[in-house]
């Protein structure tokens, strides 16, 4: 939906946070009057509207949303309004995990090649507020993707596993909402070729005429065009992928060893490979292009984001890792996989969203190097009840994260690595994941 579609209609803005305020300012600048509903208590304002500009925080599973949709009220959002007028210059990045790192890396790589680039969306800058010039790399949450009616020209999907289920209403609805970034008309789609389940879902959502580009290496095997009735790009000029032992490789261009990558862990190497492939696809760069070497080399200068496998100073000589943004079990597995042969003290838990914790339990069941589970919050307590008794790893339950950190600092802790990778939100104790990370740093500061 475009801003021009709102002219002369009864418009309401639902939610008055960052995005709601940006929507009001953008509407006012275009001479479009709008009423405001700060919460469900203002339901009559919404019932009187023809179009509602919905903030991402408003869940589509709410009874009021269902009532309005049934009554024929049309919904749009900041993301939808901006994309409807700017899709051709947008690179959209979504995924359950990895989207912030990947979108930031794409923006960095474009800038290193001399392109004019802006970064916005879920990463913290409203697209309507930003001076969104040149190519715009936009991080898109599932909340934002749910409302879009137009896809960006280039859509990147990093990963897909269940999260935010209460907001979306079901696992399948979450997957469907997430993949609207692809399904609403994307021309070029980039995804990790090693994740066959994800690729299958993308194929089902892919618009007619779109091309799917997969990270891969020739020896790993890829999906061939015959696997589905669509174009799956496997040209040798963009054979880009990641391996745990080999790092990031672009066949015919070069390689970056794991120790020289700016981020630790093979999952981060996969995210960086996605970023390289996305830029190569967007700018039509293949291995024979002089820009290819420059593009690959620019990976080395990417600055890691905070709270994503970030080593933080401590007073006890151990290596403390802030991975506070890991709010799903699959993200915890990726973090632990960085230390396959080392004992790790893992701070696990927080607010409980009812996610299936069995994938993490299965990983721990097969892991030989010990993990000392420091369980916190309702999610940690549930993991202890449902899974810890059957695992070959010690588990201790703590009332607060501060108590778990104190144990991690003590002589009782035999591990040299302490990992805050909670696999759950922070809202049982903290404002957000950054506040949780800040408190960790305070507790262990030299």
Burial of 446 (0-12, 13-18, 19+ CB in 10 A): exposed
54 a known binding residue? no
Secondary structure string (H, E, C) spanning 395-424: EEEECCHHHHHHHHHCCCCCCCEEEECCCC
101 a known binding residue? yes
C-alpha to C-alpha distances, 114 to 110, 117, 291, 305, 311, nearest whole angstrom = 7, 9, 11, 22, 31
100 a known binding residue? yes
96 a known binding residue? yes
- Helical (H) or strand (E) element with 81: helix 78-86
In angstroms, the CA 301 to CA 109 distance is 9
Residue 130 DSSP one-character state: S
Tokens 């930003």 belong to: 130
Could you tell me if 292 and 236 are in contact, meaning their C-beta atoms sit under 8 angstroms apart? no
Structure tokens at 343: 């004992």
A 10 A CB-CB count for 47 gives 15
- Helical (H) or strand (E) element with 371: strand 371-376
Binding residues: 95-101
Binding residues for ATP: 95-101
């Amino acid at each position: 939906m475009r801003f021009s579609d709102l002219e002369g209609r009864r418009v309401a803005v639902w939610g008055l946070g960052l995005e709601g305020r940006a929507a009001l300012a953008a509407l006012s600048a275009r001479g479009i009057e709008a009423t405001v509903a700060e919460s469900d208590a203002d339901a009559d304002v919404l019932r009187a509207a023809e179009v509602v500009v919905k903030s991402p925080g408003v869940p589509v599973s709410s009874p009021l949303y269902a009532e309005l949709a049934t009554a024929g009220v049309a919904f749009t959002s900041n993301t939808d309004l901006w994309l409807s007028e700017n899709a051709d210059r947008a690179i959209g990045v979504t995924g359950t995990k990895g989207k912030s790192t990947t979108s930031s890396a794409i923006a960095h790589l474009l800038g290193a090649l001399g392109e004019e680039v802006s970064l916005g969306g879920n990463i913290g800058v409203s697209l309507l507020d930003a001076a969104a010039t040149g190519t715009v790399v936009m991080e898109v949450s599932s909340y934002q993707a749910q409302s879009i009616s137009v896809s960006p020209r280039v859509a990147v999907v990093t990963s897909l596993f269940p999260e935010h289920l209460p907001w979306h209403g079901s696992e399948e609805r979450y997957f469907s909402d997430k993949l609207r970034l692809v399904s609403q008309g994307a021309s070029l789609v980039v995804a990790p070729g090693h994740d066959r389940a994800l690729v299958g879902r993308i194929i089902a959502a892919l618009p007619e005429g779109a091309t799917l580009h997969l990270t891969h290496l020739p020896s790993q095997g890829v999906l061939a065009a015959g696997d589905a009735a669509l174009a799956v790009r496997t040209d040798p000029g963009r054979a880009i992928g990641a391996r745990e032992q080999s790092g990031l490789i672009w066949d015919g261009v070069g390689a970056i060893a794991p120790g020289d990558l700016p981020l630790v862990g093979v999952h981060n190497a996969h995210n960086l490979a996605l970023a390289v492939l996305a830029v190569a696809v967007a700018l039509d760069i293949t291995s024979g292009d002089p820009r290819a070497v420059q593009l690959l080399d620019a990976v080395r200068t990417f600055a890691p984001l905070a709270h994503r496998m970030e080593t933080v100073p401590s007073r006890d000589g151990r290596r403390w890792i802030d991975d506070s943004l890991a709010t799903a079990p699959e993200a915890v597995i990726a973090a632990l996989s960085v230390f396959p042969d080392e004992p790790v003290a893992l701070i696990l838990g927080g607010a409980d969203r009812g996610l299936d914790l069995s994938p993490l339990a299965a990983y721990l069941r097969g892991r030989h190097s010990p993990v000392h589970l420091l369980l916190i919050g309702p999610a940690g307590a549930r993991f202890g009840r449902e899974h810890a008794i059957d695992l070959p790893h010690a588990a201790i339950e703590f009332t607060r994260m501060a108590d778990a950190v104190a144990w991690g600092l003590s002589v009782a802790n035999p591990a040299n690595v302490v990992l805050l990778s909670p696999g759950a939100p922070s809202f049982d104790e903290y404002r957000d994941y950054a506040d949780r990370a800040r408190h960790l740093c305070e507790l262990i500061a030299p």
